[in-house]
């Protein structure tokens, strides 16, 4: 890696970190092994800026770390009581808006929503549960789609678009915002999605799951059982981005 220009540095929670030209604050933080909570961001794809978990203070103003460019000399606060309380509230709203029954979900232990809730010290839903009854699509021979668990992060949309398929889209407004499947039937089995597509494996929660692989890895030996969401970023193994 070439030497960084001396002024490509900012202060993150009182610690000076370097960034590369074009980095967002979240990319710079991840590059420096500093964890900023996020759900809809993934280093393989462009930022979506929708979940707002990565909201930080930049020179005193609130901004999404995934869409805000790193600038020399910026003072960024990413972990204050106020910011973390806001994150916990957002997580609690996400949990009650869908059906996220972790103990019975195949994604438990591999779920970024669950892992981030642990990070933020969420101990309960706080709000009244919606208990939605959205469609469960089992029409695909290899994949299952449970939209009751979808947090509308848009990662499958971006992944499928990058693969030139555009199987997924997000439509509707407000509480009626939904994940949509391309095609006349709107069923996954009639779409062009393959189990080997990145879009089929990118889901950070248990909304898109492979069939016939339930609990192949036991609870206790799963991704976030081995390293928390923060430890994945802050550990020495990360080079240039989150997994």
> What residues line the site for ligand SF4 (CB under 6 A)?
150-156, 179, 202-203, 205, 207-208
Q: How far is the CB of 62 from ligand SF4 (least distance, A)?
A: 24
Tokens describing residue 100: 């996220």
Q: How far is the CB of 190 from ligand SF4 (least distance, A)?
A: 17
- Closer to ligand SF4 at the Cβ: 78 or 109? 109
Q: How far is the CB of 150 from ligand SF4 (least distance, A)?
A: 3
Write down the residue that tokens 């693969």 correspond to.
163
| Chain Cα centroid distance, residue 219 | 21
| 8 A C-beta contact, residue 65 and residue 96 | no
Q: How far is the CB of 14 from ligand SF4 (least distance, A)?
A: 33
Beta strands in the chain (DSSP E): 9-12, 15-18, 55-58, 61-64, 75-77, 136-137, 143-146, 168-171, 178-181, 208-210
- Closer to ligand SF4 at the Cβ: 51 or 74? 51
Residues 63, 24: Cα–Cα separation, whole Å: 11
Following DSSP, what letter does each residue of 118-134 receive, concatenated?
Answer: HHTT--S--SPP-----
φ, ψ of residue 75 in degrees (nearest 5): -105, 110
- Closer to ligand SF4 at the Cβ: 34 or 149? 149
Q: How far is the CB of 19 from ligand SF4 (least distance, A)?
A: 27
- Closer to ligand SF4 at the Cβ: 26 or 207? 207
Residues 48, 64: Cα–Cα separation, whole Å: 10
- Closer to ligand SF4 at the Cβ: 18 or 102? 102
């Amino acid at each position: 890696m070439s030497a960084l220009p001396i002024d490509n540095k900012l202060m993150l929670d009182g610690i000076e970190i370097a960034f590369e030209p074009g980095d967002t604050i979240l990319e710079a933080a991840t590059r420096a092994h500093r964890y900023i909570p996020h759900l809809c961001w993934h280093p393989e794809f462009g930022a979506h800026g929708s979940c707002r978990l990565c909201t930080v203070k930049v020179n005193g103003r609130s901004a999404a770390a995934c869409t805000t460019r790193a600038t020399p000399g910026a003072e960024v606060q990413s972990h204050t009581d106020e910011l973390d309380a806001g994150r916990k509230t957002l997580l609690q709203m996400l949990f009650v808006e869908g059906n996220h029954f972790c103990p019975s979900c195949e994604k438990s232990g591999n779920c970024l929503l669950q892992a981030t809730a642990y990070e933020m010290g969420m101990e309960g839903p706080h709000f009244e549960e919606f208990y939605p009854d959205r469609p469960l699509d089992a029409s695909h021979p290899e994949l299952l789609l449970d939209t009751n668990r979808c947090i509308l992060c848009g990662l499958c949309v971006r992944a499928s678009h990058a693969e030139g398929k555009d199987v997924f889209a997000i439509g509707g407004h407000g509480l009626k915002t939904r994940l949509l499947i391309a095609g006349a039937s709107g069923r996954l089995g009639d779409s062009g999605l393959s189990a080997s597509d990145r879009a089929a494996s990118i889901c950070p929660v248990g909304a898109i799951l492979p069939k016939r692989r339930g609990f192949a890895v036991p609870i206790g030996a799963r991704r976030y059982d081995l390293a928390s969401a923060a430890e994945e970023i802050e550990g020495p193994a990360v080079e240039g981005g989150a997994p």
